[in-house]
């Protein structure tokens, strides 16, 4: 597993560097609430498939259902999503309303809660905001952009972008809580 983490970190760093000077993925604006702990991912997974809400259109003229299928499949393969399994269908009864929200489009100014915000307008490339939520409450969120030639939702670059977005959304630890001793944090 350390090799997989090193690969994800290397792809995130390479993507950030490419995003700064040319085409490629860039991830920014990671926001984790005090609720974020990797255990939340396991708690969400223990309840069964986690609902996936997709808003906005990353590709002009592409059927939204095609985009949704490709997006759900890419997220299901993303290493950081494990052990959660995203579903676009009804997950059945759940004791806690965990969900993943993916907004395609430019980020809106201000601090809108991505768990309830509408998508922004389409921009250059693919812009996305992803959030891990409990109901309308944000646990973590991240924004990203993929530039350069993207052939559509089946393009491997699109799946890799979503995997990197997921890695930034669901890190193995909450960096903001490092050095903090419970219950005082």
Least confident of 33-42, 147-156, 170-179: 170-179
3 state SS of 7: helix
Evaluate if pTM is beyond 0.75.
yes
Q: Is the pLDDT at 180 greater than 80, yes or no?
A: no
Least confident of 23-27, 40-44, 56-60, 84-88: 23-27
Residue 164, number of CB atoms within 10 A of its CB: 24
Ramachandran angles phi, psi of 83, nearest 5°: -95, 10
Q: Is pLDDT larger for residue 144 or for residue 174? A: 144
Q: Is the pLDDT at 42 greater than 90, yes or no?
A: yes
Q: What is the pLDDT averaged over residues 149-156?
A: 92
């Amino acid at each position: 597993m350390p090799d997989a983490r090193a690969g994800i970190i290397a792809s995130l760093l390479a993507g950030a560097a490419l995003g700064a000077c040319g085409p490629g993925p860039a991830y920014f604006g990671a926001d984790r609430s005090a609720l974020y702990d990797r255990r939340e991912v396991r708690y969400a997974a223990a309840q069964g498939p986690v609902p996936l809400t997709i808003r906005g259109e990353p590709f002009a003229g592409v059927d939204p259902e095609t985009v949704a299928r490709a997006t759900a499949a890419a997220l299901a393969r993303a290493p950081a999503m494990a052990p959660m399994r995203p579903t676009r269908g009804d997950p059945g009864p759940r004791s806690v309303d965990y969900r993943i929200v993916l907004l395609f489009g430019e980020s809106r100014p201000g601090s809108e809660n991505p768990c309830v915000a509408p998508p922004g307008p389409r921009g250059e490339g693919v812009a996305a905001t992803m959030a891990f939520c409990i109901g309308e409450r944000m646990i973590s969120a991240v924004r990203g952009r993929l530039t350069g030639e993207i052939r559509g939702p089946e393009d491997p670059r699109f799946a890799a972008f979503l995997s990197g977005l997921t890695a930034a959304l669901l890190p193995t630890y909450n960096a903001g809580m490092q050095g903090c001793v419970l219950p005082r944090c």
